[in-house]
Chains A and B, each alone.
Chain A
Amino acid sequence: MATAPQPPAEGFKAFAPTMDRPFDDRRVAHLLRRAGFGPTPQTIKRFSGKPPAEAIGWLFDYSTDTDPLNERLEDLQGLITFKKIDTEQEWCLFRMVYSPQPLQEKMALFWHNHFATSAAKVDQVNLMHIQMELFRKMGLGNFRDLLVAVSRDPAMLVWLDGRGSKKGKPNENFAREVMELFALGVGNYTEQDVQELSRAFTGWNINGSKGAFNPKSFDETPKTVFGKTGPLDAEGAIDLILSQPSAPKHLAHKMLKEFVHPHPTQEQINHYAGRLIDTKWNIKTTMREMLSSEMFFSDWAYRSKIKSPIELVIGATVAVGGKANMEFLRKTTTALGQAILFPPNVKGWDGQEVWINSTTVLMRFNFGLSLSTQRADEFVRRSKIESGLLEAKATTGEEVVDYFSRLLLDGQVLAKTHGELVDYLNVAENGKKQPFVLKDEKPNDKVRGLMHLLMSTPEYQLA
């Protein structure tokens, strides 16, 4: 049986680098992968060897007052119209590649998966856009406020049938999922709670593209939920749900699973559940502590997760640079099982091992090939890989392998594989031995082949 490193003792303390455990390429890359979409040559250079607080501050202290991508979008008004869902999906992926605030986009993706709403049913592009903007705006805000906002978000009102749920004829869909998936977890409520709670969420409908409350269709009669009886409206219901002991644990578990390790310990869940309560559901403070901790930077957490298709595809795109075609990214993430704005059901993507099967593992390798060769339908402008190598003075077989192993695999490659890759470069196309030397900026088949091979390793699939 494979043995994995164990979670560290005193893991909740802030990580303090030491000689043995420096804040080096490997830990910078780990942080950037989890709290964003992975490192670039520039971000590695900027944060490696510096105090971790610099990278953490850069990731967390973003403003939501103005959208950093507004100007770019403004210039394209009239050219890009958000009438088709494909465009909205590509816009989401574009933001992940180009936003200077990667954690904002990562949080939006996290909440999109948590409150998993699909355009397959919502069928109105602007409503999906509004919901994603909500997640960008409130992604590191207060969870209670976020839950209230989601309960009256128009896309959610369509998705879980809150619209038209009215006195005398409540629809149970939202009431069930808010407890089962969004806040408590199965087993923490009864069927009667679902039926009673559904009456508390009556009265909401969509007016234009906003959630609107109509007191006339609200059921104002008393409801009995968790053994308590009262006139309960939507906000009151959410407060009551969040007062359940399972609520902070449910969210802490989800955050730990997504950002730290697929199998968090009970102690870890309890600790961060406590922090959610202490901070009155402040997501930013809790997340910041979590991602600054010894636990987060431990060997136990490193490479413990399998990259989601979006993490894989955006991460590789960001690392190699150039101008990828967003349609190519959308189609690849879809084929790999993660079509943004189309989660498979309200539970979201199961993730981790479920991403991987015989078909998707081969498709991941094939994506690595596309990203290395960069044909016209995949890249609008090829990335300047060879000139990057020349600039970094990486021209021999050994140097080129080191350069890419650092960029793509944090420098953590098995010695055996490393040797095979150097051999691959040092063999000419006719099969004869011939030391590799990169001479010019022209796309080089061996260099591209090497990138493909590194992206076809099992390590590269790990986050």
Chain B
Amino acid sequence: MSTSRRDLLRVGLSGLAVVSLGSTMPAFLSRLAMADQLPTTQMSRDNILVVIQLSGGNDGLNTVIPYAQADYYKARPVIGIKDQKLKLNDQLMLNPSMVAFKELYDQGHLAIVNGCGYPQPSRSHFRSMEIWQTAAPDKQETIGWLGHYIDHALRGSQSMMKAVNIGSELPQALVNVGGPVPSIQTVQDFRFKLDNNSRFDAKMEDQIIRECNAVRNESPALEFLSRQATNAIIETDNIRKVSENYKTEVNYPKGLGEQLRTIAQLINGNFGTRVFYVQTGGYDTHSNQVDGHGQLLGGIGKAIQAFHADLASKGLNDKVTTMCFSEFGRRVQQNSSNGTDHGAAGPMFLVGGKVKGGLHGAYPSLTELDGGDLKYTTDFRRVYATLLDKWLAADSNAVLGGKFENLDLL
């Protein structure tokens, strides 16, 4: 790799001014307070976007299945899905494990955008993921597309948590100039603990830890670490105060479900967060894919359904849109291990109370291929642009660095 994510994170931080030693005020707050605010539209300003990244390259052909086409079964004699219980129309059906997705679809809360991709697709996981996360297929970009959104559209926001990553690694999509985006695994673990032998010692320890981690400038590494620690300490103070009130009747499944539950908890805390990001893996199905892939798809459907049910029970379903994407689809032809190799175009999903449910985007041809892979019919940046313009009250032209025609999704 010529440029690793760690380099990108560094670049993302280098634009920051250094605040004085002792101060716990993050630099970006003071810096951005001086920046001009972009004019915003009349739209509601508290809509929330939840991005679910399906890492590894989801096999779109076995997700939204062209069951009426003989070419599909010809290319996939072993792994082609025959069970037709979840038909969407006379051409397409969902993978039979996607019962929860089908229910959302029937309620009009699921939009499927077929054939999403970009010109001259990369089959490298890492390059293609970078392209999806930066929305820049033709150049190496350091700032993520949501990072641009945070920098451009949320400049006036005083929230410490304009965007939150759920998980252990910050995705490049959230790398921005303004300041660190918190990564939170669970609300319970998000605190620093003290030995409670003596209340007086604990108070002193608390104070020394805060002081030791006040922003430092002897080296980039120390600056980075102290800034992260300082922000974490402020965030943990805030989060503890509010999210302990959260309760839900909904049973979330394990894994992605628990991560989405944390998001529901943070939404409930009302920290001014506009973007949540979560990653889930296992989609690199090079071998014996049918059962495992089905379980993954069934699992994410149940988790998303639980999340939106929880939101609906709190009257928040119209405030949240969930988007799923993957870095590429997979080769049309199955391989010798009853799996599929890296391909190109694939479907995206949008879920939410305000989503215009149904099928969007043309389904790619199974016969006119590009090196054995599906040709994209919808540039994925059109989906991003639609979300930016119609959901997040931003100017997609400024955020994406170009004009992409909106789709009728929201």
Residues of A within 8 A of B (CB): 1-5, 160-161, 163-166, 168-173, 176, 180-181, 185-187, 191, 194, 262-263, 303-306, 335-337, 344-347, 350-354, 356-363, 365-366, 369, 372-373, 417, 420-421, 424, 427, 429-431, 445-446, 448-449, 452-453, 456-459, 461-462
**Is A262 in contact with B6, judged by CB distance below 8 angstroms?**
yes
Determine how close the nearest CB of chain A comes to the CB of B220; give it in whole angstroms. 5
Q: Which of B45-53, B226-234, B353-361 contacts A (4 or more CB under 8 A)?
A: B226-234
Bound-state CA distance A424–B209 (Å) is: 12
Cross-chain contact of B198 among A194, A429, A458 (Cβ < 8 A): A429
- 26 inter-chain pairs at a CB distance below 8 angstroms, sorted by A residue, are A1-B16, A2-B18, A161-B286, A164-B287, A164-B337, A171-B335, A171-B336, A185-B1, A187-B2, A306-B224, A335-B185, A347-B126, A352-B6, A353-B10, A354-B170, A358-B180, A362-B229, A362-B236, A363-B189, A373-B195, A420-B212, A427-B200, A445-B198, A456-B192, A458-B222, A459-B222
Check: B371 CB closer than 8 A to any chain A CB: yes
- CB-defined contacts of B124 to chain A, threshold 8 Å: 176, 180, 186
Closest to A257 in B: B4
**Is B170 in contact with A173, judged by CB distance below 8 angstroms?**
no
**Is A445 in contact with B182, judged by CB distance below 8 angstroms?**
no
Bound-state CA distance A445–B208 (Å) is: 16
**Is B18 in contact with A452, judged by CB distance below 8 angstroms?**
no
**Is B231 in contact with A358, judged by CB distance below 8 angstroms?**
yes
Interface size on B, residues (CB 8 A): 75
**Is B208 in contact with A424, judged by CB distance below 8 angstroms?**
yes
Closest to B10 in A: A353
The answer to whether A449 and B205 touch (CB under 8 A), given A180-B124, A357-B168, A429-B200, is yes
Determine how close the nearest CB of chain B comes to the CB of A462; give it in whole angstroms. 6
Cross-chain contact of A365 among B2, B4, B192, B211 (Cβ < 8 A): B192
Cross-chain contact of A362 among B6, B14, B220, B232 (Cβ < 8 A): B232
- CB-defined contacts of A166 to chain B, threshold 8 Å: 336
- CB-defined contacts of B335 to chain A, threshold 8 Å: 161, 169, 171-172
Determine how close the nearest CB of chain B comes to the CB of A198; give it in whole angstroms. 9
Cross-chain contact of B169 among A344, A453, A461 (Cβ < 8 A): A344
Check: B268 CB closer than 8 A to any chain A CB: no
**Is B9 in contact with A354, judged by CB distance below 8 angstroms?**
yes
Cross-chain contact of B220 among A2, A164, A452 (Cβ < 8 A): A2
Bound-state CA distance A181–B126 (Å) is: 10
- CB-defined contacts of A3 to chain B, threshold 8 Å: 219
Determine how close the nearest CB of chain A comes to the CB of B302; give it in whole angstroms. 21
**Is B192 in contact with A366, judged by CB distance below 8 angstroms?**
yes
Residues of B within 8 A of A (CB): 1-2, 4-7, 9-10, 14, 16-18, 55-56, 123-127, 165, 168-170, 180, 182-185, 189-195, 197-198, 200-201, 204-205, 208-209, 211-213, 216-226, 228-229, 231-233, 235-236, 281, 284, 286-287, 335-337, 339, 341-342, 371
Given contacts A357-B183, A449-B201, 12 further A-B contacts (CB under 8 A): A1-B17, A161-B286, A186-B1, A337-B169, A350-B6, A350-B169, A352-B9, A365-B209, A424-B201, A445-B201, A453-B205, A456-B213
Determine how close the nearest CB of chain B comes to the CB of A252; give it in whole angstroms. 14
Bound-state CA distance A306–B229 (Å) is: 14
Determine how close the nearest CB of chain B comes to the CB of A157; give it in whole angstroms. 11
- CB-defined contacts of A359 to chain B, threshold 8 Å: 168, 182-185, 189-190, 232
- CB-defined contacts of A262 to chain B, threshold 8 Å: 6
- CB-defined contacts of B223 to chain A, threshold 8 Å: 2
**Is B226 in contact with A458, judged by CB distance below 8 angstroms?**
yes
Cross-chain contact of B193 among A353, A369, A457 (Cβ < 8 A): A369
**Is A185 in contact with B2, judged by CB distance below 8 angstroms?**
yes
The 4 closest A-B pairs by CB, nearest first: A169-B336, A357-B183, A358-B232, A352-B6
Determine how close the nearest CB of chain B comes to the CB of A247; give it in whole angstroms. 14
The answer to whether A171 and B286 touch (CB under 8 A), given A347-B126, A360-B183, A456-B209, is yes
Cross-chain contact of A305 among B2, B198, B221, B286 (Cβ < 8 A): B221
Interface centre among B5, B208, B217 (most CB of A within 10 A): B208
Bound-state CA distance A393–B180 (Å) is: 44
Determine how close the nearest CB of chain B comes to the CB of A146; give it in whole angstroms. 20
Cross-chain contact of A303 among B205, B217, B219, B337 (Cβ < 8 A): B219
**Is B200 in contact with A431, judged by CB distance below 8 angstroms?**
yes
Determine how close the nearest CB of chain B comes to the CB of A348; give it in whole angstroms. 10
